[in-house]
Structure 1
């Protein structure tokens, strides 16, 4: 049985947020074991590297997301991506009855009925973006991350939540940095500015009800005797706004790169031999929008896959690593294959913390990819995907750009 070794950070595998070879790093992590001692943004942790192991971590009753269980939290460097996630006070880091209380009001917002109502609007926004792309020179590079993959989920989540038009330009300027679009860099100061702006938006919306999530949550807050406290209400809306579009940007960007790099797979879509939903699911498996996600903490000493976790030790979820685990997906797990028999993946998590926005992300991805590839049948990459700069974050997995030559629009 393995225990967390009493070693310095020099003896651990160090996770590089700016790596140019995330999947190579993950191959090495999986080879090192199911739970591997790593250093992530200065934090010593166990990394859950394989599908079966991560499934155990996500569902184990003795592992919790509640920060107070982490015995080493006082040594965590401030201002990092890990710090932002583990200190979040929304349902993200709640467990048990508190988690159910915070999550339940949001289920209606992502219900199938709500999604069916959103579909025409998503299609309308997508068509507008396609029209804008068609106005660009067909033989010059166009970066599809800021021009297509990003604005669609941003606009959808803004409308779903109920962001007033007067604040959208400033809010978009700040979230550009969070999504690593444009020249503004993400930073603790920028996150503080974004939080303060969202707080102002929420306060202003108190007296202006509408058909949106902010209104729904305010009504619940008033009717249900404070089922959501004021602080919880604000934290919930902030979480949904940021988490509700940034990972979908990565999903659409990654799918475009995967398909344009593999004409045989794209041909299956265009010939109608595979549905666009298959492209979404295979991208989620093969190139997860989330690389690593913190943390779960051992509530007591526990053994997982022959590794002993001591009370209070943190575990990092390696979502991108599990998507290419040959023990789960076979010896060709590294291959992007739309004809692969549908197998479950963990890109949206599992169990009580399964991503609420998963159906919306899938719907946006399918609509966006179908519209893009039908509109530009001669589209090709302007640069190989493996030469594009990665986004500089431990959490996300994508490229900062996705330049293509669109070619003429289909008639």
Structure 2
């Protein structure tokens, strides 16, 4: 078991140096032990090719209830800060036929037709946000993470899920808490309980007020045929998955893309000179700054021998997308460079195999609508603080800035 392996690299719960830490993990080998919160150890996989192999290997599961001995034996308490990530009963953690069943119920909300139909809604929300931003007094900065990168996805996912406005503030706080790996056990458990209280309210509201939204659709599956298709726990946990995963990834994608273009004028010039497209920007951002740096957890269903490493049955496995996306064996000596003209921008930011993110097309659509609209509306926009002052989201899972202040019309001559 990984618990017997010496000298694991202990992940920083504050996420202060996501890419530096990912590089240090890679230096230890393509598969190496790391220590998570609470002393829990796992195998971190940083090699892109090996990670792909494991992500499609039937001997690798995401179901802690079936395949993680520590969880099965009650050694993982409810106040463990990553408890929500491993304990939920939805397609994120399901294995085999359960995964296929649950994914089939959610998939209709993310078909190409339904995603394309959301373009008008995304354009409307984007225009609304830009109109508000344009009212910022000259010379004042605005936090683009808070007022744009965060606001757009939360409004999109709330409308998709049919979340009433009264629940939005509390829901937002709880989603942030799920990704915050710096919380104490007490804070984590309180956040866990509050999230389920709010989701319970959402389910009750949509039972009484059904509409053309994802929550109403899932409630109808739950209530049909005495709930044989979807248990109440699966219903609530599926809502948790779609709302949190469908939001946080896009926030970080927008945040990082804006930051990278504001701090690299030569990359922005490639756009204006038609040497690159917004698709290039989106895909290179996803590669260079994986919105989810480390994704917990998977488990070995049987003993696995791979790349000279023995992963014992029951061992946890951590996908290190931040490192895999910058694998020099895939992207060469420039793997650590942000280059929108790069020929190959292959990445694993939306996963791979059976658990490939259903919401990936929606996240890409939001970015393709929002980013060009922002830079076209404010062509003289520039960063309003030194990059070293932006801070990081307190998480080794979520990879984004704590704030992203910018002058929209040029602003003072100092500060950037």
Q: Same fold (TM over 0.5)?
A: yes
Quote the residue 1:29 is aligned against: 25
* Counterpart contact for 2:67–2:300, Cα < 8 Å: yes
Q: Which one is further off, 189-198 or 314-323?
A: 189-198
Asked if the contact 1:178–1:246 (Cα under 8 Å) also holds between the matched residues in 2, the reply is no
Aligned-pair distance for 1:90?
1.2
**Equivalent residue for 2:320?**
318
Which residue of 1 is the match for residue 69 of structure 2? 71
- Kindly tell me: are residues 356 and 78 of structure 1, through their superposed partners in 2, closer, same or farther at Cα, counting changes over 3 Å? same
Match of 1:20 among 3, 16, 22: 16
TM-score normalised by length of structure 2? 0.91
Match of 2:284 among 277, 282, 285: 282
Q: Is the 8 A contact 1:178 1:186 kept in 2?
A: no
Q: Distance in 1 between matches of 2:124 and 2:355?
A: 31
Partner Cα distance (2:54, 2:179) in 1: 28
Q: How does 1:42-57 map to 2 (within 5 A)?
A: 42-57=39-54
Counterpart of 2:137 in structure 1 is 137
1:363 and 1:247 map into 2 onto residues whose CA distance is 13
How far apart, CA to CA, are the structure 1 residues paired with 2:176 and 2:23?
31
Classify the secondary structure of the residue corresponding to 2:319: strand
Contact preservation (8 Å) 2:218, 2:235: yes
1:221 to partner: Cα distance: 3.1
The match for 2:250 is: 248
Change (3 A) 1:262 1:80: farther
Structure 2 counterpart of 1:61, from 52, 58, 63: 58
Q: Give yes or no for the alignment of 1:259 onto 2:255.
A: no
Q: Does the CA-based 8 Å contact 1:48-1:57 persist in structure 2?
A: no
Computed over aligned residues only, the root mean square deviation of the Cα atoms, in angstroms, reads 2.1
Question: For 1:379 and 1:178, how far apart are their aligned partners in 2?
Answer: 32
Give deviations 1:86-116, integer Å, cap 9, x for gaps.
Answer: 1111111101111011010211101111111
CA drift at 1:191: 3.1
In 2 relative to 1, CA 352–7 (structure 1 residues): closer, same or farther, beyond 3 Å? closer
| Unmatched tracts of structure 2, length 5 or more | 181-185, 412-416
Once the 2 structures are TM-superposed, how far is the Cα of residue 301 of structure 1 from its aligned partner? 1.1
Distance 1:92 1:174 in 2: 18
Please report the TM-score for the alignment, with normalisation by the length of structure 1: 0.92
Partner residue in 1 for 2:192 = 191
Q: C-alpha distance in 1, partners of 2:323/2:18?
A: 9
Residue in structure 2 matched with residue 87 of structure 1 by the alignment: 87
